[in-house]
Structure 1
C-alpha cells in the first residue's frame, strides 16, 4: 500500500495561504500533509516560519481525513519533550488516527537563535532525541510521570488530554546510526530524495531493516517515508526555474550545518547556478516521465511518498499533479 502526501512549504508561504494549500491537497487527492517545523526559514527575504503545532490544529479543523504530521520537529531544544507530548496529545484527541509526529536531531539554524545555546555535537543531539522519545511515550500512556533522565526531568506530570489512538513517531535519518534507531524505536522512517543511490541502498534502508529486526516486534504498518522533490509543470522551463526558490537544498551538509543566520543561508543559496539548484529535484513537463522517476523510490522500498514542489504557485502544482500524475501513480503502484 503506497500513500501519497503533500509537503507544505512553511518556509515559503504565509500561514493562512499555506493552510489553503493543505485544504486543496486533500481535495486534489493527496492522502497526507506534512509541515516542516522551523523557527527560522532558509532565507531571510520573504521567508516564513509559522509554528507547526498551531498550524496543524487549523489544518485538522479544515480537513476531513487528511493525515497530518511534522517533517521534522526537534523535541529537544526549543521544545521540552513534555510540551511536545501535550501538543500531540491534544491533536491526537481532536483528530484521532490522523496525526504523526516526525522528529529529527535538529539544525543549528532553528535551535541556536531561539535558545542561545551552543550547538552540541551529534552524539548529544542523538542522545537527547532518544531520551525525548522515551519521555513522550511515557506521558502518553502513564499518569503522574516522574522522570529523571540525563537531559530532561518531570515531576508527577500527567497529560490530561491524551490521544485517542497512539501517536506514531517517525524518525528522520541521514546516516546509519539514526536509521537503525528509526527501525528499532520508531513507527516510521523519514528521509529526502535526490541523494546518491548507495545512501539509500547501502546505508539507510538496510539499517532501518536491521533496527526493525533488532526491536523484536512485528511492525506490519511500518512506513518508509520519503520527501520526493518534484517540479512539475506543463512548461518545462518554468518547472526548472521554480527550483531557484529552494536552492538552499543543493548546499552540502558541510556548507550549511553551522549556518545559523537565514540571511547567510540565503546568500549561499543565491550564489548557486540554476543547474545546481535544480540538482535535487525531479524536473519534468511529462507525467509519464515523472511517474517513471518517482517509481525509482518505490522500487527502493519507500511506501509513503510526500511530494515537495518548489514553485510559488502551489495551487497550480496541486491541481496539475493531482489530475495528471497521481492517477498514473495509483494505477502503476496502488
Structure 2
C-alpha cells in the first residue's frame, strides 16, 4: 500500500517556481530520504507534505487520501524539526504529553503513551528532567517522542541532526534507524548529508533546483546513477570526472580518449549514438583507481597533492596533467609524497560516460 504519493506536485513563490512537477511514491512503512544541496527544495517539499506550505499544483495523497488542501493538523503527520522546539519550563514528560493534553485526552491514556514512547527512546529515567538538564541527543529524542505519542500516519524529519556534533550524529542515526525498525512507520527524512541518506534510507530521492534527479535504493543510485549530478553527489568521496572525447563507436561501445592521456583510447560499454569527436566526461569512483600500472586498466599520470589518512584507508588527492582533480582510495599501499609524480590505473569495467549536459551515456 502506498504511504505517500505525490503526483505533479509543484510550488511557486510569485513568478519563481521552486518545485517542478514532482512525482514520487513512498510505500507504507518505507524510510525515504530527500537529499540534495542547500536550496534544492527538499525542505519546501517536506513542508508541503506536512501542510505547512500550500501546494501550487499537483496532488498529495497519504494512505490513498487526498490531503492536498487539508490543514496540517488533519493530515495525520508529525514533524521533527532541526531545532528541538521544546518548552524549557516543562518536564520531559510534559513536553512529550503536550499535544495529547491540548487534545484533552484522558490522563491514563496520556501516561500510557508517554511511558511507552519513553521506553522506546530510552528516556524513562529522564521524564522528570527539564530540557536544560539533557544533552543535545536526549533533547532530540524528546522531540521524536513528542511525535511518537501522536501515533501519526507519517513521520517527517527536517534535518533533525544538523545541530549535533559529528560523533553524536552517528549515534542518533543509529537511534533513528532502530526506531524505524521498531515501529515500522512511514518516514521521510530531509538532509543535505548524503552519508545520512545512504545509511538510513530504504529509498533516496535526489533533488537539484526543485527537480527530482533520481529515485532509488541507496546502492542502486551509487552503482547506477542517471546523471553526473547524482554520480557526484552520492558517495563519499564523490565520483571523479575526467574530460575526454569519442574517437569511435558501434552498436555496443564507445571508443574514448582522455584529454589527460592522448593516444591511449579504450572502450566503454554503451549503446548511445554519439558522433565521433564529441566531448564527454568519464566518471570513476575513488575505489576503482589504483596506484601503479594494472593489467587491463586505463593508464594515467598525475601528481600527488596531499593525502587524508583515515587509518586503514587513505584518500590521495592528485592533479592530472590538465589540472583536473582526482581522489584515489589507498588501502595498504605505500603513500606517495606531495608533489610526487604517480601512475594511476582506472578499472576499465567500472567507468561511466556522460555527455556534456551531464546525462549518462548508457
Fold shared, TM-score > 0.5 on shorter chain: no
Structure with greater proportional strand content: 2
What TM-score, normalized to structure 1?
0.27
Structure with greater proportional helix content: 1
For the pair shown, which has the larger CA radius of gyration, 1 or 2?
Answer: 2
Higher RCO, 1 vs 2 (CA within 8 Å, ≥6 residues apart): 1
